[in-house]
Amino acid sequence: EVQLVESGGGLVQPGGSLRLSCAASGFTFSNYDISWVRQAPGKGLEWVSGISGSGGSTYYADSVMGRFTISRDNSLNTLYLQMSSLTAEDTAVYYCAKDRSSWNPLPPHFDSWGQGTLVTVSS
Protein backbone atom coordinates (compact mmCIF):
# COMPACT_ATOMS: atom_id res chain seq x y z
CA GLU A 1 0.00 0.00 0.00
CA VAL A 2 1.34 3.41 -0.97
CA GLN A 3 1.81 5.73 2.00
CA LEU A 4 2.94 9.33 2.08
CA VAL A 5 3.36 10.94 5.47
CA GLU A 6 4.16 14.64 5.75
CA SER A 7 5.74 16.27 8.77
CA GLY A 8 7.44 19.48 9.78
CA GLY A 9 4.56 21.91 9.67
CA GLY A 10 3.80 24.38 12.42
CA LEU A 11 3.62 28.03 13.38
CA VAL A 12 6.37 30.27 12.02
CA GLN A 13 6.83 34.03 12.04
CA PRO A 14 6.80 36.07 8.85
CA GLY A 15 10.24 35.98 7.28
CA GLY A 16 11.03 32.68 8.93
CA SER A 17 11.97 29.29 7.57
CA LEU A 18 10.65 25.77 7.82
CA ARG A 19 11.52 22.39 6.32
CA LEU A 20 8.80 19.93 5.44
CA SER A 21 9.39 16.21 4.98
CA CYS A 22 7.37 13.51 3.25
CA ALA A 23 8.18 9.90 4.10
CA ALA A 24 7.15 7.45 1.40
CA SER A 25 6.57 3.71 1.46
CA GLY A 26 4.85 1.01 -0.54
CA PHE A 27 6.39 1.81 -3.92
CA THR A 28 9.78 2.25 -5.60
CA PHE A 29 10.31 5.84 -4.55
CA SER A 30 13.08 6.69 -7.00
CA ASN A 31 10.91 5.77 -9.99
CA TYR A 32 8.35 8.51 -9.46
CA ASP A 33 8.09 12.25 -9.78
CA ILE A 34 6.71 13.77 -6.59
CA SER A 35 5.21 17.20 -6.00
CA TRP A 36 4.16 19.50 -3.20
CA VAL A 37 0.64 20.88 -3.51
CA ARG A 38 -0.80 23.31 -1.01
CA GLN A 39 -4.26 24.41 0.02
CA ALA A 40 -4.86 27.64 1.89
CA PRO A 41 -7.69 27.49 4.46
CA GLY A 42 -11.02 27.30 2.64
CA LYS A 43 -9.36 27.65 -0.76
CA GLY A 44 -8.50 25.49 -3.75
CA LEU A 45 -5.43 23.50 -4.67
CA GLU A 46 -2.18 25.16 -5.72
CA TRP A 47 0.77 23.25 -7.11
CA VAL A 48 3.97 24.45 -5.44
CA SER A 49 6.92 22.40 -6.65
CA GLY A 50 7.85 19.11 -8.27
CA ILE A 51 10.92 16.93 -8.62
CA SER A 52 11.84 14.09 -10.95
CA GLY A 53 12.48 10.60 -9.67
CA SER A 54 16.25 10.98 -9.86
CA GLY A 55 16.12 14.43 -8.32
CA GLY A 56 17.87 15.86 -11.34
CA SER A 57 15.00 18.09 -12.42
CA THR A 58 13.09 20.47 -10.22
CA TYR A 59 10.14 22.75 -10.95
CA TYR A 60 8.58 25.64 -9.04
CA ALA A 61 5.54 27.84 -9.10
CA ASP A 62 6.37 31.51 -9.62
CA SER A 63 4.91 32.28 -6.19
CA VAL A 64 7.66 30.30 -4.44
CA MET A 65 10.57 30.52 -6.88
CA GLY A 66 13.71 31.61 -5.10
CA ARG A 67 12.22 31.04 -1.64
CA PHE A 68 11.45 27.30 -1.62
CA THR A 69 13.74 24.41 -2.49
CA ILE A 70 12.53 20.90 -3.23
CA SER A 71 14.84 17.93 -2.80
CA ARG A 72 14.70 14.21 -2.19
CA ASP A 73 16.80 11.49 -0.64
CA ASN A 74 16.06 8.29 -2.50
CA SER A 75 18.11 6.25 -0.02
CA LEU A 76 15.69 7.37 2.73
CA ASN A 77 12.54 7.42 0.56
CA THR A 78 11.97 10.98 1.68
CA LEU A 79 10.96 14.20 -0.04
CA TYR A 80 11.73 17.63 1.38
CA LEU A 81 10.60 21.20 0.96
CA GLN A 82 12.83 23.89 2.42
CA MET A 83 10.81 27.07 2.79
CA SER A 84 12.26 30.48 3.59
CA SER A 85 11.14 34.12 3.61
CA LEU A 86 7.69 32.92 4.55
CA THR A 87 4.70 35.25 4.37
CA ALA A 88 1.09 34.96 5.46
CA GLU A 89 0.21 33.96 1.89
CA ASP A 90 2.17 30.72 2.44
CA THR A 91 -0.24 29.63 5.17
CA ALA A 92 -1.75 26.37 3.96
CA VAL A 93 -1.93 22.63 4.30
CA TYR A 94 0.98 21.21 2.32
CA TYR A 95 0.46 17.84 0.65
CA CYS A 96 3.02 15.65 -1.03
CA ALA A 97 1.59 13.87 -4.04
CA LYS A 98 2.94 11.03 -6.17
CA ASP A 99 2.73 10.88 -9.96
CA ARG A 100 0.46 8.14 -11.21
CA SER A 101 2.94 6.76 -13.70
CA SER A 102 6.63 5.98 -13.48
CA TRP A 103 7.20 6.34 -17.21
CA ASN A 104 4.86 9.10 -18.29
CA PRO A 105 6.78 11.66 -20.35
CA LEU A 106 4.12 14.23 -19.57
CA PRO A 107 3.97 16.42 -16.47
CA PRO A 108 2.50 14.61 -13.49
CA HIS A 109 -0.96 13.97 -12.17
CA PHE A 110 -1.37 12.41 -8.79
CA ASP A 111 -2.75 9.07 -7.69
CA SER A 112 -1.57 9.17 -4.09
CA TRP A 113 -1.57 12.00 -1.59
CA GLY A 114 -0.47 12.34 1.99
CA GLN A 115 -2.76 13.67 4.70
CA GLY A 116 -0.96 17.01 4.67
CA THR A 117 0.88 19.16 7.19
CA LEU A 118 -0.34 22.61 8.20
CA VAL A 119 1.99 25.58 7.93
CA THR A 120 0.82 28.77 9.62
CA VAL A 121 2.75 31.97 9.08
CA SER A 122 1.81 34.52 11.70
CA SER A 123 3.34 36.82 14.27
Partner 1 sequence: EIVMTQSPATLSVSPGERATLSCRASQSISSNLAWYQQKPGQPPRLLIYGASTRATGVPARFSGSGSGTEFTLTISSLQSEDFAVYYCQQYNNWPPLTFGGGTKVEI
Residues near partner 1 (CB under 8 A) = 35, 44-47, 50, 59-62, 95, 97, 100, 106-111, 113-116
The single-letter DSSP state of residue 77 is T
**Distance of alpha carbon 108 from alpha carbon 118, whole angstroms:** 23
**At closest approach, how far in Å is the CB of 105 from partner 1?**
11
**Distance of alpha carbon 114 from alpha carbon 63, whole angstroms:** 22
**At closest approach, how far in Å is the CB of 123 from partner 1?**
27
Q: How many other β-carbons are positioned within 10 Å of the β-carbon of residue 79?
A: 28
Closer to partner 1 by Cβ: residue 56 or 106: 106
Which helix (DSSP H) or strand (DSSP E) does residue 80 occupy? strand 78-83
**Distance of alpha carbon 21 from alpha carbon 8, whole angstroms:** 6
Closer to partner 1 by Cβ: residue 23 or 45: 45
Closer to partner 1 by Cβ: residue 72 or 98: 98
**At closest approach, how far in Å is the CB of 62 from partner 1?**
7
